């Protein structure tokens, strides 16, 4: 009904159409020159692709959110009540309604496409990893076991946080389990976390890109000392890694 | 026959209604025994607001603890209990009940021209189950081992007897189960009322959008709540009767709890949200003096949200490694489409209108801003890789608080300021109202925006202490929470002012569109002395603005000649 009722609606259509195309384009950019938008860059091959997906989503959000907020602001300022006149009683506009249904579907389809691509990359588990680590979560600590070297790092006492040491540039396959309740194995600088679940074994890969140290945490509420269930992560050169392994074996 | 006439001839003879009303008990006794949907609805609203302020107080305690990285305001065990009970009260005892027990109970029968709910006594039972169920949860604090401390989601095995012994968790289970039954009964009542008690002329596609929202919410409750109740019974059996539904050693599957819980839990999010979307869809047109833009689109969007919401539960489980990521990701992303339709519909309704920015409308606008922001971060979280990164961090906390505070607090207050005159016959004070809005609005952004950043920097949820590098942003958030809390207290001031210094509202202070504005404020027993003819979606508007009427035939107040 009321087709072509306002030039305003037509204008709205044309304006949003252009901007939405740009927004969708932005989502597919995932260019490195973009700011981080508050996120870690993901210091693994896997985490870095998550980071780029985040950038794409953020750019798309700026466009979609920006357009929505701009329209809202415009409506607030332009159409505040100035008189007692009764405005034109518009009940709808089918082309416009179809437009603001179809365009979001297209945006979502693009986002989904990139999501699945990154997801497959992140979830891929190498057949012949350079290193295997068995990570075990329990109330309230972590155990990291390197089966090839029979080396174990484990929480010792309330402040004896264990250190997870990883060689840079080499793919490590993790096997994650929990001995008791649900824990969250969370490595913020790798842009990654995974539940440690009783009765479920999870596998995933990390290929660190640069040497760095940071704190990993338990992210899922697991009881009294959940907040204190920390561990250190150290990404070192392969040579440093081997010397660390030897020093551990000597202990 | 459309018009419901009070039989005037009888009035003169033996005055049955007068006598009937005179025999009604008064005062407190009336409040606790009444089966009138309006009284029960108000009971629900008062009770839910009390729970809201209790849970808000718990939140302020938590934020106070988090002002310092090693806060010692409460012990870690108490902190976990605070987190759990804050979330449980807000979600089970406040946000849902105030919508479908409070607003819907009061408004739906009036909006469709019905004298009461379909099952008034069941309605009363719902309220008592709710009140006692809700209080049961609070009693956990008075037990020796404290209240439940495993989060409002109650993940197994943490919630089993091994890891959470004591009566606190049992009280939590019993409480949520009782409140769940209360919700189921209310849903049965609402759905039946909407299907069977509509006044003549009130076809499905003439129903106010709030009524549509409540119909669909009711159906969602009937789908989701029984699953939760079943899961709670299983958990209770695990704790006390040696069942092994959720313990690995007995052959059980802990992750099954998450599937069951979120099969309830995600529809629940929309059970909480849809009623408030409905409220906004009522008051934005009224304050813009226009009909809603695309009524049927709105109905279908609501149906689409409800349908999709039953198939997205595992997006809470992306990081378990046990779910089919693309399926749940696709459906979760798709929900953005109907919710987007709603936002665009509200904006398009204001477009070209004469928008009046009183307190109610300000809260509605505040809701739209908050909801768009929370919705955008929701789209991000629907992407499993981004969820891997942000899952269980403050990013998620910021996301769902923006969505839920946006809808269940801002939109609820928009609805409260809008319908308060109908509930009580008095207006709320505009000056206090605006102070209430602006304080809360500022507090809202100061509280939650830093939490997004905290989450991206790696701060996990549910922690009573944190690394010192997070201190500054936590302090900002805590200050914001105090501002938000102060704003919420201004609502109490306004309620007090309206009680002590009443401003007479009149029957239709906003030039409303729908049937509740055709009766007195507050409405009489059985709601109407006479109904206006219902020829369109806006019967009261048609009556008051015949030259702009939606109805194709001329509408005369009191006339019903073309009902057929």
Q: Could you tell me which residues come within 8 angstroms of residue B137 by beta carbon, excluding any fewer than 6 positions away?
A: B85, B88, B89, B92, B93, B147, B171, B172, B175, B176
Q: Token pair of B462, please?
A: 């549910």
The pLDDT of residue B3 is above 90: no
d(CA B560, CA B392): 58
- Alpha-carbon gap, residue B94 to B96, rounded angstroms: 6
B412 near B98, Cβ under 8 Å?
A: yes
Q: Say if B487 falls within a structural domain.
A: yes
Rounded CA separation B147/B156 (Å):
17
SS3 A2: coil
In a domain, B91, yes or no: yes
Whether the CB of A66 is below 8 Å from some CB of chain B: the reply is: no
pLDDT band at A251 (very low <50, low <70, confident <90, very high): confident
B120 in Cβ contact with B38 (< 8 Å): no
Of A65, A69, A64, the residue nearest B366 (C-alpha): A69
| Among A8, A69, A186, beta carbon nearest to B352 | A8
Chain B contact for A191, CB < 8 A? yes
Contacts of A86 in chain B (CB under 8 A): 289, 354, 545, 548
Name the residue among A80, A85, A226 with its Cβ closest to that of B462.
A226
Residue B21: pLDDT band with limits 50, 70, 90: low
pLDDT at A17: 53
DSSP letters along B416-465, please? HHHHHHHHHSEEPPHHHHHHHHHHHHHHHHHHHHHHHHHHHTTPBSS-SS
What's the rounded mean pLDDT across residues A21-27? 47
Residue A3 in contact with partner chain B when CB distance is under 8 A: no
- B290 with A87: Cβ contact below 8 A: yes
Confidence of residue B557 (pLDDT cuts 50, 70, 90): low
Helices (H), A79-185: 94-123
Task: List the single residue in A91, A116, A215 with the smallest CB-CB distance to B467.
Answer: A215
Cis ω for the linkage preceding B522 (within 30 of 0): yes
Structure tokens at B64: 């106070």
DSSP state string for A17-50: HHHHHHHHHHHHH--TTS--TT----SBHHHHHH
Cα dihedral B443→B448→B454→B460 (10° resolution):
120
Helix (H, G, I), strand (E, B) or coil at B503: strand
Count the alpha carbons within 13 Å of B337 in the hemisphere toward its beta carbon.
Answer: 28
- Do the chains contact at B337 and A101, CB–CB below 8 Å? yes
The answer to whether position B57 is within a domain reads yes
Report how far residue B162's alpha carbon sits from residue B166's, in angstroms, rounded to the nearest whole number. Answer: 10
In this model, does residue B49 exceed pLDDT 50? yes
What are the pLDDT digits (tens) for A128-183? 999 999 999 999 999 999 999 999 999 998 889 999 999 999 999 999 999 999 99
Judge: A57–B452 Cβ closer than 8 Å, yes or no: no
In a domain, B3, yes or no: no
DSSP characters for B112-175? TT-SS-S-HHHHHHHHHHHHHHHHHHHHGGGSTT-S--STTTT-TTTTSTTTS-SHHHHHHHHH
Beta-carbon contacts of B208 under 8 Å, excluding residues fewer than 6 positions away, are B111, B278, B282, B513, B514, B515, B537
Q: How confident is the model at residue A11 (pLDDT cuts 50, 70, 90)?
A: low
Give the three-class secondary structure for B263.
helix
Instruction: Calculate the dihedral angle through the C-alpha atoms of B72, B448, B434, B93, rounding to the nearest 10 degrees.
Output: -70
Alpha-helical runs (H) found in B197-294: 209-240, 254-288
Asked if the interface predicted TM-score (ipTM) of this complex is over 0.85, the answer is yes
Q: Which of A239, A216, A197, A78 is nearest to A153 (CA)?
A: A216
Helix (H, G, I), strand (E, B), or coil: what is residue A132?
strand
* Count of residues in chain B: 564
- Quick one: pLDDT at residue A159? 82
Q: Which residues pair with residue A165 across a beta bridge?
A: A234
Task: Using alpha carbons only, give the angle B20, B22, B28 rounded to the nearest 5 degrees.
Answer: 110
pLDDT, average across residues B191-220: 97
Q: What are B238's two structure tokens?
A: 């695990």
Domain of residue B430, CATH code: 1.20.210.10
**Interchain pair B380, A61: CB under 8 A:** yes
Burial environment of residue B518 by CB neighbours within 10 A (0 to 12, 13 to 18, 19 or more): buried
Kindly list the structural domains of chain A, giving each domain's residue range(s) and its CATH number in brackets, ordered by start: 7-123 (no CATH), 131-250 (2.60.40.420)
SS3 content of chain A, % helix, strand, coil (to 5): 40, 25, 30
State in Å, rounded, how far the first CA of chain A is from the last one.
Answer: 82
Residue B515 has pLDDT above 50, yes or no: yes
| Residue B1 placed within a domain | no
State chain A's mean pLDDT as an integer.
89
Chain B residue with minimal CA distance to A84? B354
Cβ pair B319:A188 closer than 8 A: no
In a domain, B555, yes or no: no
My answer on whether omega of the bond before B50 falls inside 30° of 0, hence cis, is: no
Reported as a single tens digit per residue, the pLDDT across A213-239 is 999 999 999 999 999 999 999 999 999
Q: How far is CA B362 from CA A83, B434, B510, in A?
A: 19, 8, 14
A202 contacts in B (CB within 8 Å)?
320-321
- Is the pLDDT confidence value at B561 over 60? no
Angstrom distance (rounded) from CA B151 to CA B90: 12
For chains A and B, CB pairs below 8 A equal 263
d(CA B57, CA B51): 10
CA dihedral of residues B194, B198, B203, B204 (deg, nearest 10)? 0
> Where in the sequence is the domain holding B482, given as residue range(s)?
8-548
Span B460-479, pLDDT tens digits? 999 999 999 999 999 999 99
Q: What pLDDT, in 10s, does the model give residues B239-278?
A: 999 999 999 988 999 999 999 999 999 999 999 999 999 9
- Please tell me the distance from the alpha carbon of residue A243 to that of residue A236, in angstroms, as a whole number: 11
Q: Kindly report whether the peptide bond that precedes residue B157 is cis, defined as omega within 30 degrees of 0.
A: yes
For residue B316, what is the DSSP state?
Answer: G
- B427 in a domain, yes or no? yes
**Quick one: pLDDT at residue B11?**
38
DSSP A160: B
Q: Which residue has the tokens 């509509």?
A: B198
Taking residues A40-61, what's their average pLDDT? 96
B393's tokens? 């961090």
| Contact between B254 and A182 using a beta-carbon 8 Å cutoff | yes
pLDDT single digits (tens) B410-434? 999 999 999 999 999 999 999 999 9
Residue B532 lies in a domain: yes
| CA-closest candidate to residue B155, choices A158, A201, A219, A142 | A219
Q: How many domains does chain B have?
A: 1
Of the candidates B321, B356, B460, which has its C-beta nearest A219's C-beta? B460
Angstrom distances, CA of residue B463 to CA of B214, B460, B484: 36, 7, 21
* Cβ-Cβ contacts under 8 Å, B350 against chain A: 75-76, 79
Specify the pLDDT at position B27.
77
Q: Return the exposure string of B129-146: e unless at least 16 CB atoms fall within 10 Å of the residue's CB, then b.
A: bbbebbebbbebbeeeeb
Does A13 lie at the interface with B, CB-CB under 8 angstroms? no
Kind and range of the H or E element at A152?
strand A151-154
């Amino acid at each position: 009904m009321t087709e072509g009722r306002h030039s305003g609606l037509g204008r709205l259509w044309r304006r949003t159409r252009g901007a939405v195309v740009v927004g969708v384009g932005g989502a597919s950019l995932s260019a490195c020159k973009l700011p981080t938008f508050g996120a870690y860059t993901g210091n693994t091959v896997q985490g870095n692709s998550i980071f780029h997906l985040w950038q794409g989503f953020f750019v798309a959000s700026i466009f979609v959110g920006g357009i929505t907020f701009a329209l809202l602001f415009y409506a607030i300022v332009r159409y505040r009540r100035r008189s007692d006149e009764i405005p034109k009683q518009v009940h709808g506009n089918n082309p416009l309604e179809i437009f603001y249904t179809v365009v979001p579907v297209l945006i979502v389809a693009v986002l989904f496409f990139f999501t699945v691509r990154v997801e497959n990359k992140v979830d891929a588990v190498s057949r012949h990893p350079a290193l295997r680590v068995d990570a075990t979560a329990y109330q309230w600590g972590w155990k990291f076991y390197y089966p090839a070297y029979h080396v174990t790092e484990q929480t010792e006492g309330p402040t004896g946080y264990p250190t997870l040491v990883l060689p840079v540039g080499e793919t490590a396959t993790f096997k994650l389990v929990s001995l008791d309740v649900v824990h969250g194995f969370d490595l913020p600088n790798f842009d990654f976390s995974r539940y440690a679940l009783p009765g479920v074994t999870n596998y995933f890969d990390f290929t660190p890109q640069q040497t760095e140290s940071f704190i990993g945490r338990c992210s899922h509420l697991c009881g009294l000392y959940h907040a204190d269930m920390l561990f250190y992560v150290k990404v070192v050169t392969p040579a440093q890694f081997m010397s660390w392994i030897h020093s551990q074996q000597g202990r | 026959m459309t018009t419901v006439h009070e039989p005037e001839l009888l009035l003169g003879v033996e005055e049955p209604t007068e006598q009937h009303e005179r025999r009604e008990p008064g005062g407190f006794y009336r409040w606790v025994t009444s089966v009138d949907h309006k009284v029960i609805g108000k009971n629900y609203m008062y009770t839910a607001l009390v729970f809201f302020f209790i849970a808000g107080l718990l939140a302020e305690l938590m934020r106070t603890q988090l002002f310092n990285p090693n806060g010692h305001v409460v012990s870690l065990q108490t902190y976990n209990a605070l987190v759990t009970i804050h979330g449980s009260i807000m979600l089970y005892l406040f946000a849902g009940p105030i919508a479908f027990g409070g607003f819907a109970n009061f408004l739906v029968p009036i909006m469709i021209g019905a004298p009461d709910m379909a099952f008034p006594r069941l309605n009363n039972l719902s309220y008592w189950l709710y009140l006692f169920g809700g209080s049961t949860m609070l009693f956990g604090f008075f037990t020796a081992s404290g209240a439940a401390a495993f989060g409002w989601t109650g993940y197994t095995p943490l919630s089993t007897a091994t890891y959470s012994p004591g009566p606190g968790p049992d009280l939590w289970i019993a409480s949520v189960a009782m409140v769940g039954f209360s919700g189921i009964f209310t849903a049965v009542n609402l759905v039946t009322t909407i299907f069977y008690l509509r006044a003549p002329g009130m076809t499905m596609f003439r129903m106010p959008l709030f009524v549509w929202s409540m119909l669909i919410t009711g159906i969602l409750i009937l789908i989701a709540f029984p699953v939760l109740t079943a899961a709670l019974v299983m958990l209770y059996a695990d704790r006390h009767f040696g069942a092994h539904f959720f313990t690995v050693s007995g052959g059980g599957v802990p992750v099954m709890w998450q599937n069951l819980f979120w099969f309830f839990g995600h529809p629940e999010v929309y059970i909480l949200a849809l009623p408030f979307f409905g409220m906004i869809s009522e008051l934005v047109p009224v304050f813009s003096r226009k009909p809603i833009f695309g009524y049927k689109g709105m109905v279908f969007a609501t149906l689409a949200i409800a349908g999709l919401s039953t198939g997205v539960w595992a997006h809470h489980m992306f990081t378990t490694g046990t779910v089919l990521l693309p399926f749940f990701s696709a459906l979760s992303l798709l929900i953005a489409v109907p919710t987007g339709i709603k936002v665009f519909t509200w904006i398009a309704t204001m477009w070209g209108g004469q928008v009046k920015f009183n307190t109610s409308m300000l809260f509605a606008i505040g809701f739209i801003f908050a909801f768009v922001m929370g919705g955008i971060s929701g789209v991000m979280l629907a992407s499993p890789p981004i969820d891997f990164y942000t899952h269980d961090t403050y990013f998620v906390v910021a996301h769902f608080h923006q969505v839920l505070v946006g809808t269940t607090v801002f939109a609820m207050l928009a609805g409260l300021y809008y319908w308060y005159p109908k509930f009580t016959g008095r207006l709320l004070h505009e000056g206090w109202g605006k102070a209430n809005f602006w304080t809360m609005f500022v507090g809202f952004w100061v509280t939650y925006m830093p939490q997004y950043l905290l989450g991206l920097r790696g701060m996990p949820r549910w922690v009573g202490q944190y690394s010192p590098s997070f201190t500054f942003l936590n302090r900002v958030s805590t200050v914001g929470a105090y501002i938000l809390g102060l704003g919420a207290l201004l609502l109490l001031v306004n309620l007090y002012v309206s009680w002590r210094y009443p401003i007479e509202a009149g029957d239709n202070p906003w030039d409303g569109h729908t049937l509740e504005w055709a009766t007195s404020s507050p409405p009489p027993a059985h709601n109407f002395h006479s109904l206006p003819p219902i020829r369109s979606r806006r019967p009261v508007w048609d009556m008051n603005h015949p030259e702009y009427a939606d109805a194709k035939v001329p509408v005369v107040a009191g006339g019903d000649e073309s009902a057929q």
